[in-house]
Structure 1
Amino acid sequence: GLGLGLGLSLLCRYLQNLSEDDQREAQALFDKYGYNVFLSDRLPLDRSCHLIHSHADYPSALCSHGFYSEDLPSIGVVLIYLNEALSIIKRAMRSIIDRTPKHLLKEIILVDDNSSEENLKGDLDMYVKSLEQEDPSLSIKRVRHNVSYGLSHARASGWRAATADVVAILDAHIEVHELWAEPLLTQIKADRTVVTSPVFDKVNFDDLTVIPYQPASHAFDWALWCMYESFSDEYYKLKDGSLPGKSPSVMGILVAERKYLGEIGLLDEGMKVYGGENVELGIRVWTCGGSIEVVPCSKIAHIERAHKPYMPDLSKAMKRNALRVAEVWMDEYKHNSSTTKIMTPFLWNTNHGIDIGDISERKKLRERLNCKPFKWYLENVYPKLDPLTDLVAYGGMRNLDADRCIDQGPVPGHTPIAYNCYYYGPQVSKASGCQD
């Protein structure tokens, strides 16, 4: 069989035009990687016609080629991966080289978190060598872990290898658009304490087509699971969709001044496997004196995989990491840290039985940076996150006959509506998984 569920989407959109042997190969690759590697291997590495969208969505001339200064900080791009498809990594590198001004791109750093795929060794080395011969001035560095440490540690390894003024820490399953770097570097040049994020376009895992996404802030629920939310009302009153918007958090991909990122504590390398490190960074940046912006004029296309490579069940690691964030940063609000999407809802208690690791250094970091309390963050940065004070019960209101739940209606008005039951957030919030 060719698989069920998400695998059927692959069959419907792509496999039906292949021979039976090719269908088997394509399905096996999809099951292994979570996206259509069979197709990726057959697409050009510089598929610019699929990626370069008009900036006409943004009414201001700020997104035009002529606006950005030539005098911008240099950038180093970190690509982290674990058993990524070789053609996907090649395409990411090709897009970065082709669509980043040569005088700005100082280095590309590949961080392999202990992949087992053989072609990510010799074959990738050969491709890197060809790129170095093409442009001897570009530094391409390799960092290989002999143990799989997880996303947070891998990102930190890339940062340590970087020497550029600004570091962009990206997933390897991306392709950058034209003008992706200049808007981010412009913001960072103006304020070294701002951590920036591009807008992510979605690359379908089955047919690898690019679906443009509108700019939105990167938020999270009390489970520390990522979701999109609208910018503030004040932002939309400016009526200029090219302007950067303040965001409570980042979704994993981030661009920041290299030295500043180190000064504020980089990433929490006590996180294991996957999840939580991006929210921890968001809370830390804001409460410790910095800010986070989503920059609409910068766009990156990101594959949303059907399944992730780290382990079959990520829920335990994500729950552990969420508890770690809550204990270090959330003060009295750590009681709200209910991992509703990850596992059965629970309220914080000291007998949860989960080893969250040593957090003493992270607590010392918070004290040394003289960071504001989490209450300040809720009131000034993320007022949309309901503090759940005086909580008696938690859940949804369900009509058993219709199998629908009461939900938040669309703006304006938010008139309650019946909607498919969706227990971890309102259906209008555009909930989305974190980047990986």
Structure 2
Amino acid sequence: MVKPKAEPLRWIRRCFLCWTAPLLFLLSAPHLESDKDVGALAVLGPLLGTFATSLTGLTATLLGCSICRVAFVQLLVQFGILLYAHGLMFSFTFESPKSALPNPVFGATSGATRFLEKRTLGTISVVLPCLNEPYAEKTVLKFCDRTPQEVLEEIIVVDDASTPPMAEKLQSVPSRCKMKILRHQESLGLMIAKQTGGDAASGTYIGFYDCHVAPAVNWYKETMDLLAAKERRLVVPMIADLDLDTWDEKVHGPLTAKCYINFNADFWWYDDESDFIPVISGGLVATTRKWWQDSGGFDPGMRGWGGENTDQSLRTWLCGGDILRAKSSHVAHMWRVDSDPRTLSRFKLKHQTDNLARVAAIWFGEFKDKFREGGLNPTINVSQAAQRIKELQCKPFVYFLHRFRKLYRGGGVLPDNVFNLRLKGSNKCIAKTGGGLHLADCKAATKLHLANMIPPGFPHPDDFEAQPDHQVVCGGHVASSCAKCPQGHGESYCHMDCRWLFGECVPRVATQMPKAEEAFMFSGIRLWNTFPYKSYADWAETRSFSSTADWQCVNQQYLLDRKGHMRHASGHCVSADESRLRSSTCEDASLWEKIDGFVPVETTRYLASVRKYGLTDDVPDS
């Protein structure tokens, strides 16, 4: 029987079906970038697939092949081309966020690279809260120029009622910067401005930065990589010093990122080897839009400036998240310096609340009475924040202290022992009056404790014991002991078998980390319950102690040796004349002793809470 010829309508239907798969491939393939220099494979993959499968479908149709077979063949060809094209894109454009090596085919800034970044990293919204900020345009342009278009979702400038409006100062910002300006009709403060910007952001991630910063090239990469790895996370860049003349990072300038808080809810800078951060400093941090929405942003009862960084940090750590620094993400920041009028703020705070007290009321729990030595106002209403804590199933404050026990225990914020320091052979002890230290009756003494983490090579109290005669080589000569090495020439004659430390030549083998059987863990002496703002601790000038818990500041390094010398890292010792403290050589120095020691309530409470909640040493400690 002769097969009837296909009707024209049937041929049209067959051709339509055979061309449907290529069209669907084109629609389902990654959308082409509008940028003129989009990577070649990003374009050729869909086009090549469409051409090849369309040709296959047309040929098969003309030969009268089965519709099902034609569609099946087309799908196989399309799928193979899709995998091949994207496999090539991945092999040609992948680069480690640690080492931005140039792309061997398209170059480091090719469209294919940016295409891949958009698919894998998502996009970031940059939020800049500004109030009468003269450097807003420079900041916007830096973020615009150093963030690829495919990664930059938007730059949101939140104008907190500036005069004149920020829109007038930012008129020349090009449209490619994707800038949006949101304006408050009255000044509501930094955290409300940040809340406004965060709530309006539409990127996968939200970066909050001050209106006077300059991001470095590739500033976004490691930040976004870390955020992509975990939803409940904050990421802090390495904060550099800003050169106001070049509006860029100072060459070979310092970098910082880490802070901690004391029981007064003040935050202080410190550093150690860990990339985890207890508390962010405030103005420079990024998070996922999902965590921003779920966490609620900031405490709605806060106004003005300060405290929001601590609130946000504790909410993240105690509610299932973490905070990391991104070492390769640099953002240079302009610090306020009284001597440089270019850096001075041009606004006055309005609607300021006691935000630190709110932090303590919300988060400190059973440690609330340590805030300002029991000075927390019990009428502070934190019911909204308490409800959010319940919804997020957050943990008690002791979890935070235990998570960073290397700092809080090892740095002496939770001291093992509090004591008075008495001048040996007298009833006089060290006391604080105003901003200074002096000798007073021990009944009026100021309580002290050992503090600050130990730097590498810090001495042990035993290192300054009398050394038995034992021939040593020190520099270019031989001596009967390290103590005999200097021969009046000081440090220059203390080498080889010996080491110059705290003004003395001691055996090198004895200057390792503290002996295992000792509980000595600290490199300084601090006033208990007092966290003054001065960044130095010079007993000879009778100034009080800094609250820094790390060991970076050499001026804070004090050691009470076995004989009772209070040694300073400079090599001098603390002495006393009548009621005045002074510096002297250690050979002629006064001797001191600890008396009336006790374990403070915060440490007792911490240890009890650790047992109560079954906290173990399995979790990281820094």
Report the TM-score when normalising by structure 2: 0.49
Quick check: 262-271 or 106-115, which moved more?
Answer: 262-271
Residues 1:369 and 2:377 are matched in the alignment: no
Gaps of 5+ in 1: 1-60, 236-244, 339-346, 432-436
* Native 8 Å contact 2:272 2:550 kept in 1: no
Aligned CA distance change for structure 1 residues 146 and 195 (closer, same or farther; 3 Å) = same
Q: Give the structure 2 partner of residue 95 of structure 1.
A: 142
- Specify which of 83, 88, 104 is matched with residue 151 of structure 2: 104
Contact 1:92/1:173 (<8 A) preserved: yes
Contact 1:273–1:310 (CA<8 Å) still a contact in 2?
A: no
Q: How far off its partner does 1:422 sit?
A: 4.7
How many residues end up aligned between the 2 structures? 334
Aligned equivalents of 2:307, 2:417: Cα separation in 1: 26
Listed as ranges, the matches of 1:230-245 within 5 Å are: 230-231=271-272, 235=274, 245=275
- In the alignment, the residues of structure 2 paired with residue 223 and residue 207 of structure 1 have an alpha-carbon distance, to the nearest angstrom, of 38
Question: Of the candidates 348, 371, 374, which is equivalent to residue 374 of structure 2?
Answer: 348
User: Kindly tell me: are residues 373 and 121 of structure 1, through their superposed partners in 2, closer, same or farther at Cα, counting changes over 3 Å?
Assistant: same
Q: Does 1:113 align with 2:150?
A: no
Render the CA deviation track for 1:220-242: whole Å, top value 9, x for unaligned. Answer: 2333233222235xx4xxxxxxx
Shift of 1:98: 1.0
Q: Give yes or no for contact 1:222–1:337 (8 Å, CA) kept in 2.
A: yes
Map of 1:178 onto structure 2: 217
Q: Are 1:272 and 1:317, in contact at CA under 8 Å, matched by a contact in 2?
A: yes
Quickly say closer, same or farther: Cα 1:184–1:205, change in 2 above 3 A: same
2:168 matched to 1:122?
yes
Q: Which residue of structure 2 lines up, in the alignment, with residue 36 of structure 1? A: none
Percent identity, please: 24
Q: Whose RCO is larger (CA < 8 A, sep 6+)?
A: 1
Does residue 65 (structure 1) correspond to residue 96 (structure 2)? The answer is no
Q: Secondary structure at the match of 2:172?
A: helix
Shift of 1:366: 0.5
Query: How much has 1:62 moved relative to structure 2?
Result: 4.8
TM-score (norm 1): 0.68
1:334 to 356, 368, 371: 368
Counterpart contact for 1:396–1:423, Cα < 8 Å = no
Q: Report the CA distance between 1:64 and its aligned residue.
A: 1.3
Q: Is the 8 A contact 1:335 1:349 kept in 2?
A: yes
Alignment-mate amino acid for residue 307 of structure 2 = G
Which AA in structure 1 matches 2:357?
Answer: L
Which one-letter code corresponds to 1:224 in the other structure?
A
Other-structure match for 1:76: 125
Supply the distance in 2 between the matched residues of 1:330 and 1:247 (Cα, whole angstroms): 18
Q: 1:317 to 1:381 in 2, by over 3 A?
A: farther
Could you say which residue in structure 2 is the equivalent of 1:419?
537
- SS of the aligned residue for 2:326 comes to strand
Cα deviations by residue, 1:306-329 (Å, 9 ceiling, x for unpaired): 3544538x9x947x1111010111
Counterpart Cα distance in 1 of 2:368 and 2:223: 33
Once the two structures are TM-superposed, the CA of residue 411 in structure 1 deviates from its matched residue by 1.5
Q: Identify the residue that residue 202 of structure 2 maps to in structure 1.
A: 163
* AA in 2 matched with 1:337: F
The secondary structure found in structure 2 opposite 1:419 is: coil
CA distance in structure 1 between the aligned counterparts of 2:311 and 2:327, rounded to whole angstroms: 23
- Of structures 1 and 2, the larger Rg is shown by 2
Aligned residue number for residue 403 of structure 2: 380
The residue that corresponds to 1:17 in the other structure is none
Equivalent positions of 1:286-305 (< 5 A) are: 286-305=317-336
Note closer, same or farther for the CA distance 1:388–1:272 as it changes in structure 2 (3 Å cut).
Answer: farther
Q: CA deviation at 1:195?
A: 1.0
AA aligned to 1:324 is R
Note if contact 1:216-1:231 (Cα within 8 Å) is conserved in structure 2.
Answer: no
- Distance (Å, rounded) in 1 between the aligned partners of 2:362 and 2:254: 33
Deviation track 1:161-211 (CA, whole Å, cap 9, x = no partner) reads: 111111101111001000100111111111122210101102267997744
State the AA in 2 paired with 1:139: K
State how far apart, in whole Å, the 2-side matches of 1:261 and 1:409 are: 34
Q: 1:279 to 1:180 in 2, by over 3 A?
A: same
When structure 1 is superposed on structure 2, of 65-74 and 91-100 the one drifting more is 65-74
Is the contact between residue 168 and residue 256 of structure 1 (CA under 8 Å) also seen in structure 2? Answer: yes
Look up the equivalent residue of 1:321 and give its one-letter code: N
Contact 2:268 2:548 in 1 (8 A): no
8 Å CA contact retained: 1:205, 1:304? no
Q: Within the alignment, does 1:251 sit opposite 2:285 as a pair? A: no
Name the CA distance, whole Å, in 2 between partners of 1:119 and 1:395: 53
